[in-house]
Structure 1
């Protein structure tokens, strides 16, 4: 099998006899780290852009994003809600997935997002213009959406996506209503200061399912908790999110990345619809606990400095 270019070796001339063993080892180590980083970034980009056919999660909740970047459509007879958009060039793919399910992008009335990072928000402005939908978000993510990511305390300092105007601020406990949709808002900060999750109850074959569209408390590389914290209170925000999520009653859950909720272990394209496909209450608790353990380890490491 051909070795990927990111793992190419260096010519022997670069390791001349005049180079000390220590500096040679350092050069090889650095080259390997750079190669692995490049390979990881390439693999991530492919997962974020590879198309995935639209699919039914449960009842009126559908996945319409890419292989790993989640975009969710919640449908009603009076219009639809779209959560997240993926990268800037995702609109065509999202439209195609929505249409393959028998719906229209133009019938989206409300736009939501789970976190104000470019990989989930970059097509919001375009889709808002196409649909005329209202953009609803939390107060602390609103300013990041409106300046295109410039004020993001971790990735900011530059515009990373097209700014989108916010029409309504939503808060913990709010109920978003559209047609027969009843979607409750949860503020789950940490990943971003204004991160949010959404829940609803659906009924399939006489059974109620508690469904959570969860923004998970992942800690991006380089994010600081207590030593020069990325933003004031970030450590407390993560702790509260883990605590609150573990206390939730969940039957079906999905997340901002397919890899976070085991999408490709639970579902394969073309698989027959079954309302129990994504039932995974124990998996949700385990996922939160894994992230909490990573948080506690980083917290202890920072506090020991």
Structure 2
């Protein structure tokens, strides 16, 4: 595998199903002898966060090119200014979460290369929710890399036919996308494993029926100061819909949405990332040096539930 990382620290803390580092993992991820270490001063992602902030604005365009940047250790943002795509790297291959739009996937592929990684080493492409702005590029990415698509069961149905179903609140709003085969379906709490990498899937339906959030340990690369953080890529929690859709007409779906808020609030979460960077104020938090915030997931969940309550109240006024 031709990457900058022929070996990551095998003692790095991994994410178990319960999101707790295994007891046999060393507290210091740099203790193992490595065949090659990365010099943080000359790594290709050095200065990436500053470059991203200089290039991008809040609620920026979906396909606007953005420079890639390191979030922490083995975790990178390789998406556009307006849409996140998250790369988690490991010695036996990499995992990408979301591909962006059909037009934006070229930016994602280019950004992976800019970091010094080979897109062909991406073995899995995981899905947040099944709308074209986040997964419309899946088919093109699979053609370019051979990666296996990972999704929830409900999300897989949409990806295979290329169009959201009538049970989606935004049915009829989102454009169709190129269908893509789904090679792996995960249920709530199951893990996606690739060598040392373990990403846990969390079912968080509401914005869409098949929405998934993901958690994992982001740990230092060889040569970096040893640190691990619990990273949470939390799906959209906004109650957006087609004009004729009423959440109040679907009490069972609203109940699932409320369960998602509780799920997100309880996630292991030191660093919060979201499919739309600005929905969790990522740029502002980066400017303030506050990307590492254990309260961020709970605050994000509360904000989402407040918007749903406001939406239900507005629907009640019009009934």
Please give the TM-score of this superposition, normalised by the length of structure 2.
0.74
- Please identify, of 292-301 and 121-130, the stretch whose mean Cα deviation from structure 2 is larger: 292-301
Report the CA distance between 1:246 and its aligned residue.
1.3
Greater share of helix residues, 1 or 2?
1
In structure 1, the partner of 2:156 is 142
Report the CA distance between 1:111 and its aligned residue.
1.0
In structure 1, the partner of 2:216 is 200
C-alpha distance 203-71 of structure 1, shift in aligned 2 (>3 A)? closer
Q: Any conservation in 2 of the 1:82–1:110 contact (CA below 8 Å)?
A: yes
In structure 1, the partner of 2:7 is none
Q: Any conservation in 2 of the 1:149–1:155 contact (CA below 8 Å)?
A: no
Task: After TM superposition, list the pairs within 5 Å mapping 1:78-227 onto structure 2.
Answer: 78-151=92-165, 153-156=168-171, 160-204=176-220, 205-222=225-242, 223-227=245-249
Q: Any conservation in 2 of the 1:216–1:288 contact (CA below 8 Å)?
A: no
For residues 112-143 of structure 1, the C-alpha deviation after alignment (integer angstroms, 9 at most, x for no partner) is 11000010011100111111111111001111
- Residue aligned with 2:169, SS: coil
Across the aligned residues of Structure 1 and Structure 2, the Cα RMSD in angstroms comes to 2.3
Report the CA distance between 1:282 and its aligned residue.
2.2
* Greater relative contact order structure (CA < 8 Å, 6+ sep): 2
Show structure 1 runs of 5+ residues with no match. 1-42, 269-275
Q: What is the CA–CA distance in structure 1 between the aligned matches of 2:280 and 2:79, rounded to whole Å?
A: 14
- Residue aligned with 1:47, SS: coil
Q: How many residues are aligned here?
A: 254
C-alpha distance 200-287 of structure 1, shift in aligned 2 (>3 A)? same
In structure 1, the partner of 2:265 is 246
Show structure 2 runs of 5+ residues with no match. 1-56
Q: What is the CA–CA distance in structure 1 between the aligned matches of 2:88 and 2:162, rounded to whole Å?
A: 25
Report the CA distance between 1:69 and its aligned residue.
0.4
Q: Any conservation in 1 of the 2:101–2:134 contact (CA below 8 Å)?
A: yes
In structure 1, the partner of 2:315 is 302
In structure 2, the partner of 1:279 is 292
